[in-house]
Amino acid sequence: MRFAKFGILFVMLFALATIGQAQVILGVQAGYASTAFEDQESAASTFSGGAIIGTDIMPMIDVGLEYNLLFSPFEFEEGGTTAKVSQNLLGLWARWYFLPIPAVSPYIRGGVGYYSGKLELSGAMTGEADFKSTVGFNIGAGVDMPMGLYGEFVYHIVSRELDVDGAESAGYNNWAISVGYSFDLL
């Protein structure tokens, strides 16, 4: 049901852009992601990717929809057990270009999204459980460059809980550095 709400928001975004004759962009991105989990002594890293669609609602403000995923899960080893944590994000974002110049256009961004994923254990302990899907937030900064290239740093702030009886919520914050390519759709 929550995916349906994001679908409705996407259709509204696309309709507003089309009616207002605004520029609509489509983009793909890939990057490096690392953990900043609560109570975790070591960090795990992996590669991430995603897609965006967006539009400019004002001369220096873009809004859009994004889907991000981990190409492989964050992986930790402790006491003979390997834990793999996967995460997906379907969210909305906004970018404010505070110094738009032709060569590079730096921006700050913020977003809210629907985070889902799962935990897999192997080794001394085994099992698998989905995380309860939850709303989380992200903040970051980036730069648009000529020919549709962009780069950004995004910090995800999300509290997760396994979908099992008696599970407690914990911070599963993480960050990503990505590069991408976007082009005008309309």
The CATH number given to 2-184 is 2.40.160.20
Task: Measure the CA–CA gap between 58 and 104, rounded to whole angstroms.
Answer: 18
Predicted model pTM: 0.85
- For residue 49, what are its two tokens? 């990717």
Task: Measure the CA–CA gap between 136 and 114, rounded to whole angstroms.
Answer: 6
Task: Measure the CA–CA gap between 73 and 65, rounded to whole angstroms.
Answer: 23
Q: Which pLDDT does position 125 carry in this prediction?
A: 87
Sign of CA dihedral 53, 182, 134, 69: positive
| C-alpha dist (Å) from residue 4 to 7, 38, 48, 110 | 5, 31, 24, 22
Q: Which pLDDT does position 96 carry in this prediction?
A: 96
| 13, pLDDT greater than 80 | no
Q: What is the pLDDT of residues 95-114, one digit of tens each?
A: 999 987 878 999 999 999 99
Q: What is the pLDDT of residues 37-65, one digit of tens each?
A: 877 777 889 999 999 999 888 889 999 99
Q: What is the pLDDT of residues 121-154, one digit of tens each?
A: 998 889 999 999 999 999 999 999 988 999 999 9
Q: Which pLDDT does position 12 carry in this prediction?
A: 60
